[in-house]
Amino acid sequence: MTTQLLSRRHFLRAAGVTVALPWLETFARTAEPAKAQRFVCVANPFGMIDDAFFPGEAGVNAKLPENLQAFESLRGGFTVFSNLDHGISGGHAATHVFLSGVRTQEAGVMPAGNITLDQFFAEANAGRTRFPVLNTSAGSNNGGSCELSWTRSGVLVPAEQKVSRVYRKLFVNESAEQAAARSERYDRQGSILDAVTAQARAMNQRLSSRDRAKLDQYLTSVREVEIAIQQEQAWVHRPRPTVDVKEPKDGTVTEQLPILFDLIALALQTDSTRVATIEVPGGFDARGVGLEPKGYHAYSHHGKDPKLMAGQRRIEKYQLDQLARFIGKLQELDLLPTTQVLFGSGMGDGSAHTNRNLPILLAGGGYKHKTHIVMPEQKERRVPLSNLYLTMVQRFGVEADRFGHSTGTVGELA
């Protein structure tokens, strides 16, 4: 049977039926490109306590610290990096650069603005899956936000905060009437955008150079919306995959985070998306890990207080345990070699509000992982985090020689 016959819609027509089949692993794996690349980023807003995250020595056999014990069985499939960051400061105000390396205020002079890695990959993958990117959060960002994803035109992309909505987006089909109404709405929105674009171009000749630059930025945003509408239109009448999983109930962060990891794994497995982000929000429920009901932010401001530090370690361990379980699941599904899983934060030390030596862990992706790579610490020899991102961009299959403020790639993973 050919790949064409195994596509979902063609197979149903060929079989002479109109009911939706369940998602079938054999069909999906035969139909999808053999070398399809995937990317998942997991981030929190407050960083990590150094000695609980960074191994004390470099190399494949480095002893793992307390909060990475769950990664022991994954040794050889991940790398922790020391001394990688974007070379900026600003505490909470600088965390938004984590996936771009570019501050919003300097985006205007950068060729790609402050586009983040997930959105960059989504552009490269546009049209190949129902969702070019799936941006999610395990709950409310009250208490601190990652501000993780930014478009090329400098627009912050909100994350879906409820697992029930993520599930419905991925696996619940609209009725025929709802699909028709959505299609009509897309047509109407497209017509409005065409009219707005035409009027804006007509104004262009009468504007100063400064205003033309502003108008061009506006039109870039319009084009992004237009492209998004076109991509969504193509999938309106295509059935979503059927999975043997019930719609989950929303809850606290500690209740939603493991469910969210499972949903993202299913999204990758069914090829509903190849790019996803998960934000661990500032509204983390300390009670969920057996702590007094202080906020995640309060624990991160531990000021070296032993009790608060112990609480922060427990919050961080929970996140990393769930991440290890997710990576293990991708390994079982044989998706890990083609999935780059990035964990980190735009904050290094949440208590000191430093943005240096960010906690960075990269798993999967087919790299020759080293468990712990210590990059140069001296100021004049420091390697920007964007170099790792450029390495990931090239591994994803995108031809690029620059990402953000990169100066090259990270050869240690080759």
The predicted-structure confidence for 48-88, as pLDDT tens digits, reads as follows 999 999 999 999 999 999 999 999 999 999 999 999 999 99
Task: Please give the C-alpha separations between residue 350 and each of 252, 259, 361, in angstroms, as whole numbers.
Answer: 22, 26, 17
Q: Are residues 233 and 324 in the same domain?
A: no
Phi, psi of 361 (to 5 degrees): -130, 130
pLDDT in tens, 78-123: 999 999 999 999 999 999 999 999 999 999 899 999 999 999 999 9
Q: Are residues 151 and 113 in the same domain?
A: yes
**Structural domain boundaries enclosing 282:** 38-173+245-413
Out of 238, 257, 279, pick the residue that ends a domain.
Answer: 238
Q: Are residues 208 and 267 in the same domain?
A: no
Task: Please give the C-alpha separations between residue 354 and each of 94, 151, 386, in angstroms, as whole numbers.
Answer: 9, 25, 18
What's the CATH number where 387 sits?
3.40.720.10
DSSP letter, residue 94: G
Out of 238, 253, 279, pick the residue that ends a domain.
Answer: 238
Indicate whether 27 belongs to any domain: no
> Which residue bears the tokens 């208490």?
143
Q: Are residues 405 and 289 in the same domain?
A: yes
Using CA atoms, how far apart are residues 267 and 285, in angstroms rounded to an integer? 26
Q: Are residues 90 and 212 in the same domain?
A: no
Out of 238, 268, 293, pick the residue that ends a domain.
Answer: 238
Tally of domains in the chain? 2
Q: Are residues 213 and 316 in the same domain?
A: no
Using CA atoms, how far apart are residues 218 and 222, in angstroms rounded to an integer? 6
Higher-pLDDT residue of 19 and 213 is 213
Q: Are residues 155 and 56 in the same domain?
A: yes
SS3 breakdown of the chain: % helix, strand, coil, rounded to 5? 45, 10, 45
CA angle 180, 186, 191 (to 5 degrees): 130
Report yes or no: 43 and 98 within 8 Å, Cβ to Cβ.
yes
Using CA atoms, how far apart are residues 275 and 135, in angstroms rounded to an integer? 9
Residue at 230: amino acid letter: Q
Report yes or no: 391 and 408 within 8 Å, Cβ to Cβ.
no
Q: Are residues 53 and 100 in the same domain?
A: yes
DSSP letter, residue 129: S
Indicate whether 1 belongs to any domain: no
pTM of the complete model: 0.83
Average pLDDT over residues 19-36: 51
Indicate whether 3 belongs to any domain: no
**According to the model, what pLDDT value does residue 345 have?**
97
pLDDT band at 192 (very low <50, low <70, confident <90, very high): low
State yes or no: pLDDT of 205 exceeds 80: no
Residue at 373: amino acid letter: I
Q: Are residues 110 and 141 in the same domain?
A: yes
Burial call 375-397: b when 16+ CB within 10 Å, e when fewer? beeeeeebbbbbbbbbbbbebbe
Task: Please give the C-alpha separations between residue 82 and each of 107, 280, 288, 308, 383, in angstroms, as whole numbers.
Answer: 27, 21, 30, 24, 10
Indicate whether 398 belongs to any domain: yes
**According to the model, what pLDDT value does residue 144 have?**
77
Indicate whether 161 belongs to any domain: yes
Q: Are residues 265 and 319 in the same domain?
A: yes
Report yes or no: 157 and 151 within 8 Å, Cβ to Cβ.
yes
State yes or no: pLDDT of 23 exceeds 50: no
Q: Are residues 219 and 334 in the same domain?
A: no
Indicate whether 9 belongs to any domain: no
The mean pLDDT of the chain is: 86
* Residue 243 tokens, joined: 């999975």
Q: Are residues 216 and 314 in the same domain?
A: no
Burial call 235-266: b when 16+ CB within 10 Å, e when fewer? ebeeebbebeeeebeebebbbbbbbbbbbbbb
DSSP labels for 333-376?
Answer: TT-GGGEEEEEEES-SBTTTTB-SS--EEEEETT----EEEE--
